[in-house]
Amino acid sequence: MDKNNDNKIPEDGFDEAETKKNLVMARTRKAQPEPKEPLARTPLRKASKKKKNAVVVAPSPVARSPAAFSPVAKKIQEEKVNEVLKHLKSPVPRPEENKSKDKKGKKTITETEEDELTADRMSHKFIEHIGFIETGPSLNTYYLTHLLNMAQSIETHDAFTRNTFKNRNPDVFCIDKTRVKLMDPNIEYYIHANHIKFDRLTRTYIATQHPLPGTLNDFWAMIADQKVEFIVSLTNSKTASFPIYYPNKPSTFRNFGQFFVYCNSVIPPKMKYRFTEYKFDFVAQSEKEEKRTIRLYHYPHWVKNTVPASTKVVLEIVKKLRKKKSNSPVVVQCETGVNQSAEVIYVDAVCSMLDSGVEANFDSLFRQMRQQKSQVMTQRLHFLHSIATVLDFIKYHFLSIPDPLICQMASIMFSISKDFQYNMSEEPIDEKHPLKSPPMRELCEKDAK
């Protein structure tokens, strides 16, 4: 054998090996589906020579699959990319911008907590102020020396003098500057009623006497002109001199000149110290024929020259007025408009200011009221009972009162209650259907229902 031919492969063997190789490759091609689009191979990054333990990352088999390059997959991928780019390009809001948006919209949790803390501080300040007066000269002495004989308003009361037949008490003047007048200055109009407003309080009031038999139309003219929606009545209409000035039975109506009042419903009290609630449809017969709903709260058991049987009577009224959202004034009516009416207005104003986190100075508010309505709260028992009612409101409305202030409130209540506890109007007791007293917490809760 030739030595030069020892390492040569026979031609027949080479052809046979090549044929087997081609058959294997052909079978492999048939097993793999041909992609609709050419696959783009991701170039492999060469391992760095500087790094000894460099790892070569192979391309993802999912990215190399034919489905990843289908038109649907491409569209989804483009949408995701556009969404990411849009998010990256959008400006990041600053904290100041977020704060301004919160102010325009609803209050944030932090702002609400700050308001509650401010209201708590104002209530504590009110207790401390009352406690300081009581431990010094006492509230009784302070009222007699500083508030009772304070100078009356020097404003004139000419309209009161010209209309003596429309006044229930000739000694209770109606100040010209604050008296209620019709919007039309060409119409001569008079009613014994005065506007009462307080600094830093949006709610306004009208204190008025019980209408006389000849002033019923005047009363409803005032209701129409001032767009009143809430009336508080604190008199008992048992005599002819105190006529009922509204329909007091459901589905009945009464006419007062050009004013039509229809009684929609009557809700009697279901618990002690509550009032009867009337719902009226009120129509003023004019060119526009104005129509609206009026609610009247009637408590008939508050006798003249006394205070109510419980502070819950006034707090029940305050609870109802807290739901009021309109800007129209609240009409509060008693016999002369200066004692029971003044107590309700005074208590509601103080409670509203404290609840809003506004400082309520009992001396300043009393003087503001006296300057707008002549001879309001001329009896000390009404003033002292007003303070007691506000203290009850604070005790059950604000839950974060320190123990020393709670003890101070108890001491004040014990001291001032001696001056009015024997002048309280008791409600008649129905032995067959006795009424329960409402819990104080329910009357004073923040979200009163």
pLDDT bin (cut points 50, 70, 90) of residue 189 is confident
DSSP, collapsed to helix, strand or coil, labels residue 100 as: helix
Question: Is the pLDDT assigned to residue 41 strictly greater than 60?
Answer: no
- Please list, residue by residue across 105-140, b when 16 or more beta carbons sit within 10 angstroms of its beta carbon and e when fewer do: eeeeeeeeeeeeeebbebbbebbeebbebbeeeebb
Nearest Cα residue to 207 out of 302, 332, 304:
332
pLDDT in tens, 104-116: 455 555 656 676 7
DSSP, collapsed to helix, strand or coil, labels residue 196 as: strand
What is the CATH classification number for the domain harbouring 245?
3.90.190.10
Cα–Cα distance, 415 to 408 (Å, whole number): 11
Q: Name the phi and psi angles at 316, rounded to 5.
A: -65, -40
Residue 79 in domain: no
Residue 350 in domain: yes
The DSSP 8-state label assigned to residue 330 in this structure reads E
Chain Cα centroid distance, residue 391: 21
How many domains is the chain built from? 1
The DSSP 8-state label assigned to residue 57 in this structure reads P
Residue 97 in domain: no
CA gyration radius, the chain: 42
Interstrand relation of 259-267 and 253-256 (parallel, antiparallel or unpaired): antiparallel
Instruction: Decide if 333 contacts 168 (C-beta within 8 A).
Output: no
Any idea which residue has 């024997």 for tokens?
422
Residue 9 in domain: no
Q: What is the pLDDT of residue 109?
A: 53
The DSSP 8-state label assigned to residue 164 in this structure reads G
Instruction: Decide if 37 contacts 62 (C-beta within 8 A).
Output: no
Question: Is the pLDDT assigned to residue 33 strictly greater than 60?
Answer: no
Helix (H) and strand (E) counts in the chain: 14, 10
Q: What is the pLDDT of residue 22?
A: 63
Cα–Cα distance, 308 to 285 (Å, whole number): 38
Tokens of residue 91, six digits: 């400006």
pLDDT in tens, 364-414: 999 999 999 998 999 999 999 999 999 999 998 887 889 999 999 999 999
Please give the residue that has the higher pLDDT: either 80 or 437: 437
Residue 138 in domain: yes
Residue 308 in domain: yes
Q: For 124, how many CA atoms within 13 A lie in the half-sphere containing its CB?
A: 13
The DSSP 8-state label assigned to residue 176 in this structure reads T
Structural domain range at position 257: 110-444
Residue 60 in domain: no
When the pLDDT of each residue in the chain is averaged and rounded to a whole number, the result is 81
Residue 65 in domain: no
Cα–Cα distance, 279 to 266 (Å, whole number): 7
Cα–Cα distance, 34 to 46 (Å, whole number): 29
